[in-house]
């Protein structure tokens, strides 16, 4: 194993301009040849052209520069079963064991997404019309009107589909311990990304400040951190949906997953989002987690999908967050 890719950090010898340029060039080459948009990094809408570095991307840079993360955790009791996890991630050289730098990150069960959940929808005494399921596939707006319009959804009760009203109210989870492990892993991820950006001096290529928006499903395909292509004035309007895709507004019943090995002997995880009798497929863990969250909170989702030989494949899935109580217009 050579040390040519070991991070160029010296105790007494300053880096030359060529050293710094070589390190930046290497990161950009790894982005181009190894990393993938929306998997290792992604551009956040409305937050400039600089992509956010995601955990898989940080791990690729660790591999590139032969760095090993060594996280240290402090657990803070916030009372009533709530905890905060404060993680300091130290990066060390795999070759020499030398400490290269560190990053910090924290997460707690008091954060809104883990402290609160949406109240269960109120079940009405009206069954879902049988034709609803067929109409939903071709005209989701019309189908939504068949069950009452915006604010209404479907819920299975005793093997029967009933119309339910989404109240928009939020209630606290009764057991914060359910999210201890999730919060701890999130704090470790935040600290890891911070450490990699700091040690590799890659903040001019990536950002972390808006990285949390990725977890909420608002990430969009970027262009590898390069400048966006110049568009002609007449093309500045919003592009219409692709002809080979369809969009529906619906609720998710549940999410399942299947692990396997592909033809290239690489393991994969295939997720299935169940909506009534229809199954939508995806390989995206982020999409699956958003769908599961929507299912647990009885939230509507907007699913853009395309037809494939294996059934409908999800292109995008966006959770429709209900308005905060008292903010309805």
> How do residues 70-115 score in pLDDT, each as one tens digit?
999 999 999 999 999 999 999 999 988 999 999 999 999 999 888 8
CB contact set of 244 (below 8 Å; sequence gap of 6+)? 306, 307
Query: What phi, psi does 271 have (nearest 5°)?
Result: -105, 145
Under DSSP, is residue 23 helix (H, G, I), strand (E, B) or coil? helix
Tell me which residue has tokens 């939504």. Answer: 144
* CA distances to 214, 234, 296, 325 from 219, in Å: 5, 25, 22, 26
Residue 59: band (very low, low, confident or very high) from pLDDT cuts 50, 70, 90: very high
**What is the number of alpha carbons within 13 Å of residue 222 lying toward its C-beta?**
30
pLDDT for res 251: 85
* CA distances to 102, 285, 287 from 262, in Å: 37, 17, 21
- Provide the mean pLDDT of the chain: 80
DSSP one-letter code for 6? S
Residue 201 has pLDDT above 80, yes or no: yes
Burial 19-57 (b: 16+ CB within 10 A, else e): eeeebeebbeebbeeebebbebbbbbeeeeebbbbbbeb
85 forms beta bridges with: 75, 107
pLDDT digits (tens, 9 = 90+) for 139-148: 888 888 999 9
pLDDT for res 326: 44
Tell me which residue has tokens 């060529």. Answer: 18
Residue 173 has pLDDT above 90, yes or no: no
d(CA 125, CA 234): 51
Residue 302 has pLDDT above 70, yes or no: yes
Q: Which residue has the higher pLDDT, 282 or 218?
A: 282
Query: What percentage of the chain reaches a pLDDT higher than 70?
Result: 79
pLDDT for res 318: 86
d(CA 91, CA 284): 28
């Amino acid at each position: 194993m050579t040390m040519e890719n070991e991070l160029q950090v010296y105790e007494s010898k300053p880096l030359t301009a060529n050293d710094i340029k070589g390190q930046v060039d290497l990161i950009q080459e790894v982005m181009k040849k190894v990393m993938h948009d929306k998997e290792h990094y992604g551009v956040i809408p409305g937050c400039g052209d600089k992509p956010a570095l995601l955990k898989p991307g940080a791990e690729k840079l660790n591999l590139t520069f032969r760095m090993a993360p060594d996280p240290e955790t402090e657990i803070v009791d916030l009372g009533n079963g709530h905890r905060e996890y404060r993680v300091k991630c130290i990066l060390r050289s795999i070759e020499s064991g030398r400490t290269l730098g560190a990053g910090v990150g924290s997460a707690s069960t008091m954060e809104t997404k883990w402290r609160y959940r949406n109240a269960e929808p109120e079940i009405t005494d009206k069954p879902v019309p049988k034709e609803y399921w067929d109409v939903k596939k071709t005209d989701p707006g019309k189908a939504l009107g068949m069950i009452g319009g915006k604010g209404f959804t479907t819920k299975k009760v005793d093997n029967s589909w009933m119309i339910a009203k989404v109240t928009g109210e939020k209630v606290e989870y009764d057991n914060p311990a359910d999210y201890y492990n999730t919060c701890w892993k999130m704090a470790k991820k935040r600290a890891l990304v911070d450490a990699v950006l700091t040690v590799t001096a890659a903040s001019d290529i990536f950002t972390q400040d808006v990285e949390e928006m990725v977890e909420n499903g608002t990430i969009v395909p970027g262009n590898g951190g390069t400048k966006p292509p110049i568009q002609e004035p007449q093309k500045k309007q919003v592009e219409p949906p692709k002809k080979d895709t369809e969009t529906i507004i619906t609720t998710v019943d549940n999410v399942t997953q299947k692990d396997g090995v592909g033809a290239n002997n690489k393991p994969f995880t295939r997720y299935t989002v169940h909506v009534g009798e229809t199954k939508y497929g995806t390989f995206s863990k982020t999409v699956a987690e958003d769908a599961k969250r929507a299912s647990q909170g009885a939230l509507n989702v907007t699913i853009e999908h395309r037809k494939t030989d294996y059934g409908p494949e999800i292109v995008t899935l966006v959770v429709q967050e209900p308005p905060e109580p008292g903010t309805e217009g």
